[in-house]
C-alpha cells in the first residue's frame, strides 16, 4: 500500500482568514466573450432560420439532394446559434455555492453539441449521396439555382455578423464555422445547378453533396477536439507552462514554483493555480501583486490562485517493499500475519 506523507513548513502572510490561497480576481468578475455579441447572434439566428424553411420547401420541390443538404446545414446553423444564445445566457448567471465558477463551461458544452450535430448531418449527407450516385433523379435546375444564390447571400450576411466574435469565443466560432461551411455548400449547389441547367447532368447533384459532407468532417473534428481539450482542463494552446514558470521565478523574492496548473474557464478566460516558495513571507503582499501583474500583462491570465510557502512541500511515497510510516505493513482489517 502506498503511503503518502507531506513534510515541510508552510505559513501565510497577513491575509483575511478563511482563505487557503490568494484569489486575485474572482470568477464572478469575468464576463464571457460571447456575451458581447448577443445581438449579432439573434440577427444571424433570425436570418438563418427564416431561409432554412425556404430551402426545405425548395429542396422538396426541385428534388435536389444538394439543396436539401444545404437546408440541413442551415438546420445545424439554427441549432448551433440557438445553443450559442442559450450558452451566453447561462454564462451570464452569477456563481453559486455549488457552481463556484458560474456557468462559463455551458459555452464549451454547446460547442461540443454543435460538433456532434454536424457529424450526424455530414454522415446522413454522405449516405444519401452514395445512394443517389447509382440512380440520380431528375432535378429542376432553374429553381434550384435561384434558391441556392439567395441562400449564399443569407450565409454571407450571417458570417459578417459573426466574424468579429468568432475570434474571441469558441462558441461563436462554432456557429461561424457552421455558417461558413453552409456558404461553401451553397457555392457547390450553385455550381451543380448551373451544370444541371446547361447540360442535364444530374449526377453532379449527389457528387456535390459528397463534397459538402467531406468538407464538414475535418473542420468539425478540429472544433470538437479543441472543446474537449478545454473540458479536460488542458493547458491553453497559446500558453507555454514552462515559460510561465520561468517568468514567475524572476519576481524578486521568489525561490521556486511548483504544482503549477493553467486551464481555460471559457473562451478567452484562463485561470491558474500554483504554489510559490518565497524567501520572506513578510513580503507576501508585494510578491502577490508582482506575480499578478506579470501573469496579467505577459500571459493574459486574470484569475489566479497562489499559495505562498516558506519551504517546498515534499511528497514522500514509500516503495512497495518498504514498511508503512507506522512501522508495520498495512493489512486489510481483520487480517493477520502468516
Q: pLDDT of 189-245, one tens digit each? A: 888 889 988 888 888 888 888 887 787 788 778 878 888 998 999 999 889 999 999
Q: Is the pLDDT of residue 56 over 90?
A: no
- 171: confidence class by pLDDT, cuts 50, 70, 90: low
pTM surpassing 0.85?
Answer: no
Task: Count Cα neighbours of 114 within 13 Å in the Cβ-side half-sphere.
Answer: 39
Which grid coordinates are listed for 179? 455558417
Listed in order, strand segments (DSSP E) in the chain are 4-7, 22-23, 254-266, 269-278, 303-309, 314-317
Instruction: Give residue 75's pLDDT.
Output: 76
Instruction: Return all residues near 212 (Cβ < 8 A) that are at least 6 apart.
Output: 66, 69, 70, 73, 125, 181, 184, 185, 188
Q: Is the pLDDT of residue 306 over 70?
A: yes
pLDDT in tens, 102-132: 777 877 887 788 788 878 878 888 888 888 8
- 314: confidence class by pLDDT, cuts 50, 70, 90: low
**DSSP symbol at 249:** T
CATH topology of domain 32-231: Alpha-lytic protease prodomain-like (1.20.1510)
Instruction: Give residue 251's pLDDT.
Output: 94
Instruction: Give residue 37's pLDDT.
Output: 66
3-state secondary structure of 296: helix
- 273: confidence class by pLDDT, cuts 50, 70, 90: very high
Residue 317 has phi, psi (to 5 degrees) of -120, 120
Quote the CATH superfamily of domain 4-25+236-317.
Answer: Cation efflux protein, cytoplasmic domain (3.30.70.1350)
Q: Among 9-13, 98-102, 179-183, 274-278, which stretch is predicted with the lowest mean pLDDT?
A: 9-13
Instruction: Give residue 22's pLDDT.
Output: 41
Q: How far is CA 39 from the centre of its chain?
A: 21
Instruction: Give residue 321's pLDDT.
Output: 54
Contact between residue 25 and residue 302 where contact means Cβ atoms under 8 Å apart? yes
Instruction: Give residue 170's pLDDT.
Output: 67
Among 169, 171, 163, 165, which residue's Cα sits nearest to residue 269?
Answer: 169
- 334: confidence class by pLDDT, cuts 50, 70, 90: very low
With residue 125 as reference, give the H or E element that holds it.
helix 105-134
Q: Is the pLDDT of residue 43 over 70?
A: yes
Distances (CA, A) of 98 to 16, 94, 95, 193, 262: 22, 11, 8, 55, 22
Four-CA torsion 276, 279, 281, 287, nearest 10 degrees: -60
Instruction: Give residue 26's pLDDT.
Output: 41
Instruction: Give residue 86's pLDDT.
Output: 72
**Long-range contact set of residues 323-331: C-beta below 8 Å, sequence gap at least 24:** 324/1, 324/3, 325/3, 325/5, 330/1, 330/3
Average pLDDT, the chain: 76
Most confident of 83-97, 102-116, 156-170, 191-205: 191-205
Q: What is the DSSP string of 31-81?
A: PPGGGGGHHHHHHHHHHHHHHHHHHHHHHHHHT-HHHHHHHHHHHHHHHHH
Domain with CATH 1.20.1510.10 in the chain: 32-231
Question: Residue 255's CB: how many other CB atoms inside 10 A?
Answer: 13
Instruction: Give residue 41's pLDDT.
Output: 80
Domain with CATH 3.30.70.1350 in the chain: 4-25+236-317
Question: Residue 69's CB: how many other CB atoms inside 10 A?
Answer: 32
Instruction: Give residue 252's pLDDT.
Output: 94
Q: Is the pLDDT of residue 337 over 60?
A: no
Amino acid at each position: 500500500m502506498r503511503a503518502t506523507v507531506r513534510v515541510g513548513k508552510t505559513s501565510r502572510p497577513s491575509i483575511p482568514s478563511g482563505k487557503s490561497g490568494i484569489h486575485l480576481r474572482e470568477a464572478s468578475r469575468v464576463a464571457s466573450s460571447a456575451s458581447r455579441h448577443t445581438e449579432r447572434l439573434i440577427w444571424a439566428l433570425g436570418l438563418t432560420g427564416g431561409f432554412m424553411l425556404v430551402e426545405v420547401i425548395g429542396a422538396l420541390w426541385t428534388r435536389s439532394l444538394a439543396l436539401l443538404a444545404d437546408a440541413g446545414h442551415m438546420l445545424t446553423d439554427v441549432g448551433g446559434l440557438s445553443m450559442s444564445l442559450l450558452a451566453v445566457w447561462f454564462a451570464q448567471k452569477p456563481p453559486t455555492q455549488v457552481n463556484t465558477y458560474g456557468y462559463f463551461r455551458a459555452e464549451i458544452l454547446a460547442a461540443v453539441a454543435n460538433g456532434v450535430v454536424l457529424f450526424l448531418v455530414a454522415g446522413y449527407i454522405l449516405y444519401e449521396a452514395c445512394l443517389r450516385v447509382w440512380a440520380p433523379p431528375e432535378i429542376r435546375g432553374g429553381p434550384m439555382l435561384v434558391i441556392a444564390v439567395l441562400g449564399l447571400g443569407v450565409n454571407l450576411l450571417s458570417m459578417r455578423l459573426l466574424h468579429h466574435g468568432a475570434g474571441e469565443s469558441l462558441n461563436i466560432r462554432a456557429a461561424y464555422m457552421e455558417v461558413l461551411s453552409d456558404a461553401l455548400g451553397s457555392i457547390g449547389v450553385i455550381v451543380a445547378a448551373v451544370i444541371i441547367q446547361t447540360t442535364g447532368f444530374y449526377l453532379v447533384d449527389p457528387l456535390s453533396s459528397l463534397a459538402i459532407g467531406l468538407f464538414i468532417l475535418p473542420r468539425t473534428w478540429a472544433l470538437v477536439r479543441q472543446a474537449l481539450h478545454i473540458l479536460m482542463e488542458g493547458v491553453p494552446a497559446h500558453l507555454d507552462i514552462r515559460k510561465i514558470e520561468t517568468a514567475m521565478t524572476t519576481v524578486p523574492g521568489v525561490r521556486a514554483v511548483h504544482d503549477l496548473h493553467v486551464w481555460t474557464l471559457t473562451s478567452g478566460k484562463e485561470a491558474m493555480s500554483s504554489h510559490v516558495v518565497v524567501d520572506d513571507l513578510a513580503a507576501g503582499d508585494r510578491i502577490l501583486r508582482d506575480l499578478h501583474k506579470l501573469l496579467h500583462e505577459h500571459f493574459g491570465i486574470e484569475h489566479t490562485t497562489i499559495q505562498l510557502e516558506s519551504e517546498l512541500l515534499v511528497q514522500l511515497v514509500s516503495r512497495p517493499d518498504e514498511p508503512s510510516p507506522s512501522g508495520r505493513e498495512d493489512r486489510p482489517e481483520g487480517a493477520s500475519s502468516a
